[in-house]
Amino acid sequence: MTTLTQSQHLEMFDARGSLARAEHELNLFNSFGKAETEKSLRLDLLLEQDALDDSTEELEQLKIMYDRNNLADVTAQMVLNRAERNLQRQQISVELAQSEITKWVQLGMARAQADLDYDVTYAKLNIAYLEAEHTSSRVELSAEISDLKLFIAELRADSEDE
Amino acid sequence: MNSLVAMALLCCSAQSSELELAEQACDTAIERGNAFLYSRQTKNGGLSLNATPALHDVWANAEANRSWHIATTSIAAMAWMAQPQDDARDLRIARAIDYLCKSPLVKRPDDWDTDNTWAYVYSLCALTRAGNNAYIEKTHRTKMIRQRAQVIMQELYKYQSPMGGWAYYADETKAVTPNWATSFQTAVAVIGLLEAKQLGWSVDEHRLRVAIDTLIHCRLPDGSYTYSVEIIPRVDTGTGIDNVKGGLSRIQSCNYALYLAKQMGYKSPIGHEQIITGLQQLFANHHYLDIARGRPTPHEAYHYNSGYFYFFGHYYAGLLLEMLPKKEAQPFFSPYVNSVVKTQHGDGSMLDFFLDASGKEYGAAFGVAGLCHARNSLK
C-alpha cells in the first residue's frame, strides 16, 4: 500500500509539472509569441527585400562599369547572366517570405494556439484521469485486502473446528 | 643663444651621421643581397627553378611554380639594372633577359588559377627596364626584347577582367577571362604598360586607360586602395583589409603606378603630396607588416596582412622615394633602410613568406631593388 501511494505521488507530481509547463507556454504565446513570430517573419521579408534591392543596384552598377570599360568579353555577359538569375531567385525568396507571413496570420497562429490549448487540456485531463485511476486502484486494493482477510479468517475457523 | 646654436648643430650632426650610417648599411645590404642572388642564378640565366616542389610548398603545381620562377628572375634582373654599371653584372643581366625572352610562355596553371599573370606582369616590367639598359642596347638585344614584350602584352590583355584590372585566380567564374581583379596586380601591369609606352612600344591604349581608371576607382578617401576591384569601393571598418592598416603595400604600388601615369599625361590623383602621405602611412603603421612577415598562412595577421605583402610594398616604396626631391625623400631613408636591412639573413637572402623554390630569392631581389632605388633618392 505504501509503495502504491508513493508511486501515485510521483505520477501526480509529474502530471502537475506537465500542466504547469503547458500553461506557461500558452501564457508566453499569448503575451509575446504571437506578436514576435509575426514581427520576426516581417523582418525576414525586409531582409529578403533588401537583398533584392542590393542585388538590383549592384547589377546596375556592374552594367555601368562594364559599359564604361568596354572590354568586350563573354565573361562580362556571363557575370551579368548570373546576376540576372540571382535576381530571379531573390524575387522568389521575397515572395516566399511574404507567403510565410500570410500563412502565419491565417493558419499558423491559430494552429499554434490550438496546439498549446490542446497541451493544457491534455495535461488537465491527464491529472483527472490519474486521480480517478489512483482512487480506483486504492479501492480495488482495499477490496482485495478485505477478501484476503476474510479468507484467512475462514481458514482459521476451519482449522479450529478440526 | 650659444647653447641653442650648439644644440642645433648637434642635431644636424646627429641626423647626418644617422644618414651616413643608413647609407653604409644600405650599400652593405645591397652587396650581400647581390652575392646571394648571383649564387642562385643558374647556367640558363634563370633563378632557382624548383623541379621538385615540396608538398608543403604553396601551389605545388608545375606552371604556378614556373610563374614564380619567371617573376623572381624578372625582379632579380630589375634589381641588378637599378645599380650602377658593372661589367660582370651586365653579363648576368643579359643572361637573365635572354632567359626571359627565350623560355616558353607560362601557361595557365588551372581553371581556377591564373597565377601565370604574375610571370607576365613582372617579365614585362623587366623587359621594359632592359629596354633602357645600355648594355642590352649595345649587345643588340632590343629587338628581341620588344618582340617578347609584345607577345607578353597580348597574353596579358587576354586576362584583363571586364572589371578593368588583373588578378591571379578565377574561381568566381572559371571563365577564359577571369572576372576578379585586384588593385595591386593591376598596378604592376599598369607600370609595365606605361614603361612600354615610354619606350615607344605598341600598347593597347584603351586597355591601358581602363586599367588606370580602375586603379583610380580603387582609391579610397583614406588614401588606401581596395584589395579587389569592387563595384562600389568602401573603407573597411574594424579589422578589415580595405583601409590603410590592411593596405600599406597596396598604397605604395598603386601610388607609384598612378604617379607614373600622371607623369605621362594621364588624369591621376597622385602627386608628391599623396606619395609622402602614403610613405608616412607606411612607417606609422609598419608594425602591421612586421607582425605579418614570416607568418606561414596568407592573411593570418591583423587586417588580413600576409607575409608576402612585405617586400612587395617596400620595393614600390623604394621606387617612390626615388621620385621625390632629395629633401622630401631624406626623412624616410633611414627608416626605409632599417626596415629592409633588418630582414637580411646571414647568407644575404631575405624572406617574408615561405615558398620552397623562390621565397628567399624573390625577397632578396625585391629587397635589393628597393634599396637601390631608395639610395638613388639621395643623389
Could you tell me if residue B13 is inside a domain? no
- A18-54: b (≥16 Cβ within 10 Å) or e: bbeebeebbeebeeebbeebbeebeebbeebbeebee
Q: What is the pLDDT of residue B11?
A: 55
pLDDT, tens only, B153-196? 999 999 999 999 999 999 888 888 999 999 999 999 999 999 99
Lowest mean pLDDT segment, chosen from A11-15, A101-105, B47-51: B47-51
The model's pLDDT over B190-212, given as tens digits with 9 standing for 90+, comes to 999 999 999 999 999 999 999 99
Distance CA A8, CA B238 (A): 62
Rounded Cα distance between B107 and A140, Å, is 93
How far apart are alpha carbons B30 and B83 in whole angstroms?
9
Nearest to B364 by CA among B376, B375, B377, B352: B352
A76 to chain B, any CB pair closer than 8 A? The answer is yes
Instruction: Report pLDDT digits (tens) over A26-41.
Output: 999 999 999 999 999 9
Within-domain flag for B3: no
What is the average pLDDT across A54-58?
94
In a domain, B286, yes or no: yes
Number of domains composing chain B:
1
Are the Cβ atoms of A78 and B206 closer than 8 angstroms?
A: no
Angle, CA of B134, B136 and B139, to the nearest 5°: 105
Contact A65 B160 (CB under 8 A): no
Of A62, A71, A78, the CB nearest to B175: A78
Write down the domain spans for chain A: 2-157
- pLDDT at position A15 over 90: yes
DSSP assignment of B77-109 equals HHHHHTS---HHHHHHHHHHHHHHHHSPPPPP-
User: Does B209 contact chain A (CB < 8 Å)?
Assistant: no
CA–CA separation, A115 vs A123, rounded Å? 12
A79/B162 CB distance under 8 A: yes
Query: Which chain A residue shows the shortest CA-CA distance from B213?
Result: A69
Give pLDDT tens digits for B76-126. Answer: 999 999 999 999 999 999 999 999 999 999 999 999 999 999 999 999 999
Asked if B231 is an interface residue toward chain A (Cβ–Cβ < 8 A), one would say yes
Nearest-CA distance A60 → chain B (Å):
10
* Inter-chain touch A78–B210, beta carbons under 8 Å: no
Q: What is the pLDDT of residue A73?
A: 79
Reported as a single tens digit per residue, the pLDDT across B296-354 is: 999 999 999 999 999 999 999 999 999 999 999 999 999 999 999 999 999 999 999 98
| Grid coordinates given for B109 | 596553371
- The predicted model gives B355-379 an average pLDDT of 93
Assigned domain for B10 exists: no
Q: How confident is the model at residue B379 (pLDDT cuts 50, 70, 90)?
A: confident
In this complex, is the C-beta atom of B25 within 8 Å of any C-beta atom belonging to chain A? no
Q: Whole domain around residue B82: which residue ranges? A: 21-50+62-376
pTM for this one? 0.85
Q: Decide if pLDDT at B50 tops 70.
A: no
Which residues of A fall within a CB distance of 8 Å from B111?
none
- Say which residues have a Cβ less than 8 Å from residue B336's Cβ, sequence separation at least 6: B283, B314, B317, B318, B321, B370, B374
Give the CATH number for residue B320.
1.50.10.20
Indicate whether B11 belongs to any domain.
no
Contact B88, B377 (CB under 8 A): no
B189/B125 Cα distance (integer angstroms): 8
Q: Which of B5-19, B54-68, B176-190, B246-260 has the lowest mean pLDDT?
A: B5-19
Whether the CB-CB separation of B239 and B288 falls below 8 Å is answered with: no
CA torsion angle B93 B127 B357 B314 (round to 10): 100
Residue B176 lies in a domain: yes
Q: Within a domain: residue B8?
A: no
> Using an 8 Å Cβ cutoff, are B367 and B313 in contact?
no
Does A75 contact B162 at a Cβ distance shorter than 8 Å? yes
A75, B161: Cβ pair inside 8 Å? yes
Q: Looking at residues B268-288, what average pLDDT do you find?
A: 98
Residue found by looking up cell 654599371 in the block: B85
> What SS3 class is residue A106?
helix
